[in-house]
Structure 1
């Protein structure tokens, strides 16, 4: 597929061409490396050894309890029955310092098995929370104790890695502080963005079942709540390059509230606020900004970048961005518009007693016309940039779908935990994400932070990056965290429909 696919080429016509699977197989053959002989599994001594190397003698231990429960939550005038951690939406933030040890006891009060994945953390492999790969799923009524060192400061979050449970309310921020934090700001605002469908006449499991039963055909989807026009509503979106999503969501949330009843952040005019943005959505990218208030972007996915001034930024699912703003005299909305879809979420930034109203159409229109920074606009700060080096191994990941009814693949195959892309400890690894579909994919690598190869070879450090339709994105990382690590699309429905593979450390 050419880099700029004409908008007249519809998804259904593209599928009819029947070329995706064959081309994907050809790209898969371009990967270097051999089939793994002996995998370094989560119980390997090498995994325990890597954790010992990360953990300082006498490192402080932070203990938390996570109770996965079923109950009702108020989205701001709309009450839904859903699954959450401890009845909160988002769950309670976990905050600790770099180098500390987190002990988290999960109790499963859900009707399904579950787990916790610590998104973005370079943790020990047996604590990564991927059933059938790094641990057994925690059965209903069961418990599991997670324990690991947090080696890198930054903005992270946690969520399940079972089915499409991410598209319920099971997520919360995980903030790892650096001793140097606070030098350029006075206070913090953490904003978690989400798209919401659970408890609105359907649930994520029913939505996935509908996609698998009916495929992407318009006629077959119209009767399924939460589906229909949403699957094609983003065609031709300039930032996303094509389809904006497969699901129509009745609500968009910022910190658990709909736009009509937003949370308020009380502050003072002139204060410098570090805004930590987290996109926990399952199927929606957000364009985020404060009309009339510039943002100084300082971090992507937890790692510092050369600061850039921005009027708006784009966040795909699983991505995080940190930015510093100076609070104006008047109250303003921090807006998150669904890119290529209808609707928005917001948090009101309120200095003193100067109350802000709900964002109006003019504010939203302003956000949609402002310049937007994306991954290609950022470069890693010198302190975290990888030394220039030719890769020891390179793997292509051809992203294709949806074939059949609703199948998304990597290298022509759906996820198989017994297969993977082999790497060896100490290697410089290059992954080439080659998007052969008509939809963007936010690709996430567990257990590592890679460097996107931008202009001049030095893009930002990230663990999740958008790959646009018809485009190729190259990322490099140093293989220094042994184990079996998932690499997958962070659209929850694409991942569950097969778009996952494994970066497999081998001996």
Structure 2
């Protein structure tokens, strides 16, 4: 087993990799890419073995052009903070698509939302994205067109933004967590049920990490391993515990914690990311198990096995992650914006080229988003560039909503349900009956979508956008 350190990875200007089961770090590195060369990402449809029984037809996946791999799961893209990153989407699906770069503060026309920031990318067409990520951390990429079907069938990958000032780990594991909705014959079944979309959302039947049920990864005994976790599922909220090893939460949603938190149980909702520093067991062959304990019976997410002689590292040896930009809010001059998350009984969403579920179950400020449509839709609010705003989010429903803001970050200020840490983030899980204040500095001009990341909720009305001018 060859372990690739972060320092080695950072020798490339923009490193891309794909990963396979049983490997703790990026085992196959592509050649370094010049800053002027785009990473070519193909969106494809094909047959993939997901449940270990027989191939599932109609799986949608991302692949790097010109690279062959036995691993069909989405490639991990790597970029460096502050350096040019270019990606060319080549659409080989039978329908339009786009790429949204979740959590990245980028120019508005690179955000990947049809009818809001860019045109669709039709079958056979391509679209070039270019930006310099200002923050380091764990982010991701996925479509924003016919989202439930395309994400539900596989289109969601991890984007890692590196910083050479970050501490060196002895290994790295990247986990892309998601369900697939398959029947007993290994084929896709209906992606959603209306009665479930009107509640918590429709859960998948096959639970995977990196498109495999309960994958295992070899990690260096006694070493410090960075585990990057993405909740790419369209519905599931995870309650994660790690048995057999000591671990600390070092970053949430890509942003470093000022004070690391020992991992007891971490809640990660759709759209969110969690970075762990794991101190691997010393004895070779010892297994560590990451579990989701949210169901009545805990489910194994992934297994880690210690290999080799102990490196005898200590979590106290680990230096700090490089800081990202904070949210420097001027609360004394903040403008408050009410945001009511509620159910609705409005008329059905209109059909469009980016698809609709045909229902409106949810709303923001009592207005359900009409679907992905070219018809004019008013913004939730118009924000002035550079001003501070307090988003007063109130969830009057009995269900949780992971609310995601495109293109900017916010910081939790207060909640009526729990003590909040002033963490910089782009996604916040709003609990039932919770009232939370999120501070936002309108520092990025454009139209920025704001929506629930339970995709059935997004597609049935709980969506809107802010206009920053």
* Category of TM-score, reference length = shorter chain: 0.7 to 0.9
Q: How does 1:315-326 map to 2 (within 5 A)?
A: 315-326=268-279
- Contiguous gaps of at least 5 residues in structure 2: 1-33, 64-68, 310-321, 347-358, 371-375
Q: 1:106 aligns with which of 83, 89, 98?
A: 89
SS of 1:295's partner is: strand
Q: 1:440 aligns with which of 377, 380, 400?
A: 400
Q: How does 1:318-337 map to 2 (within 5 A)?
A: 318-328=271-281, 329=283, 330-337=285-292
Shift of 1:289: 2.2
Alignment RMSD (CA, Å): 2.6
Aligned to 2:447: 484
Aligned to 1:359: none
Q: 2:335 aligns with which of 368, 393, 396?
A: 393
Q: How many residues align?
A: 388
Question: Following the alignment from structure 2 to structure 1, what is the Cα–Cα distance between the partners of residues 298 and 382?
Answer: 42
Q: Which of the pair is proportionally richer in strand?
A: 2
- Contiguous gaps of at least 5 residues in structure 1: 1-58, 217-226, 232-242, 355-379
Question: Following the alignment from structure 2 to structure 1, what is the Cα–Cα distance between the partners of residues 333 and 435?
Answer: 17
Answering whether residue 412 of structure 2 is matched by residue 452 of structure 1, we say yes
Aligned to 1:295: 247
Change (3 A) 1:198 1:502: farther
1:168·1:198 contact (CA, 8 Å) conserved in 2?
Answer: no
Q: 1:409 aligns with which of 341, 346, 363?
A: 363
1:393·1:423 contact (CA, 8 Å) conserved in 2?
Answer: no
Aligned to 1:27: none
1:407-465 CA-to-partner distances (Å, cap 9, x unmatched) read: 11111111156211110101112112211111100000000111111488852111001
Change (3 A) 1:387 1:422: closer
Q: How does 1:48-447 map to 2 (within 5 A)?
A: 60-61=35-36, 63-78=38-53, 79-81=55-57, 82-86=59-63, 89-163=72-146, 164=148, 165-183=150-168, 185-197=169-181, 200-203=186-189, 206-208=190-192, 210-211=193-194, 215=195, 245-259=200-214, 262=215, 264-305=216-257, 306-328=259-281, 329=283, 330-337=285-292, 339-340=294-295, 344-352=299-307, 384=326, 386=328, 389-401=331-343, 403=345, 407-415=361-369, 418-420=377-379, 421-447=381-407
1:435·1:468 contact (CA, 8 Å) conserved in 2?
Answer: yes
Task: Name the TM-score, length of structure 2 as normaliser.
Answer: 0.77
1:303·1:384 contact (CA, 8 Å) conserved in 2?
Answer: no
1:77-96 CA-to-partner distances (Å, cap 9, x unmatched) read: 14312110128543111111
2:329·2:440 contact (CA, 8 Å) conserved in 1?
Answer: no
1:89·1:255 contact (CA, 8 Å) conserved in 2?
Answer: no
Question: Following the alignment from structure 1 to structure 2, what is the Cα–Cα distance between the partners of residues 66 and 469?
Answer: 38
Shift of 1:384: 3.3
Question: Following the alignment from structure 1 to structure 2, what is the Cα–Cα distance between the partners of residues 97 and 462?
Answer: 19
Q: Which of the pair is proportionally richer in helix?
A: 1
Question: Following the alignment from structure 1 to structure 2, what is the Cα–Cα distance between the partners of residues 337 and 189?
Answer: 17
1:62·1:100 contact (CA, 8 Å) conserved in 2?
Answer: no
Question: Following the alignment from structure 1 to structure 2, what is the Cα–Cα distance between the partners of residues 505 and 341?
Answer: 44
SS of 1:495's partner is: helix
Answering whether residue 468 of structure 2 is matched by residue 468 of structure 1, we say no
2:171·2:220 contact (CA, 8 Å) conserved in 1?
Answer: no
Question: Following the alignment from structure 2 to structure 1, what is the Cα–Cα distance between the partners of residues 420 and 308?
Answer: 48
Question: Following the alignment from structure 1 to structure 2, what is the Cα–Cα distance between the partners of residues 341 and 92?
Answer: 33
1:167·1:198 contact (CA, 8 Å) conserved in 2?
Answer: no
Shift of 1:246: 2.3
Shift of 1:389: 2.7
Aligned to 2:463: 500
1:191·1:254 contact (CA, 8 Å) conserved in 2?
Answer: yes
Change (3 A) 1:343 1:318: same
Change (3 A) 1:383 1:156: closer
Question: Following the alignment from structure 2 to structure 1, what is the Cα–Cα distance between the partners of residues 84 and 291?
Answer: 33
Question: Following the alignment from structure 1 to structure 2, what is the Cα–Cα distance between the partners of residues 401 and 254?
Answer: 32
Shift of 1:186: 2.3
2:44·2:61 contact (CA, 8 Å) conserved in 1?
Answer: yes
1:77-117 CA-to-partner distances (Å, cap 9, x unmatched) read: 14312110128543111111101111111111111111000
Shift of 1:493: 0.6
Say which structure, 1 or 2, has more relative contact order (CA 8 Å, 6+ apart): 1
Change (3 A) 1:494 1:471: same
Question: Following the alignment from structure 1 to structure 2, what is the Cα–Cα distance between the partners of residues 475 and 299?
Answer: 19
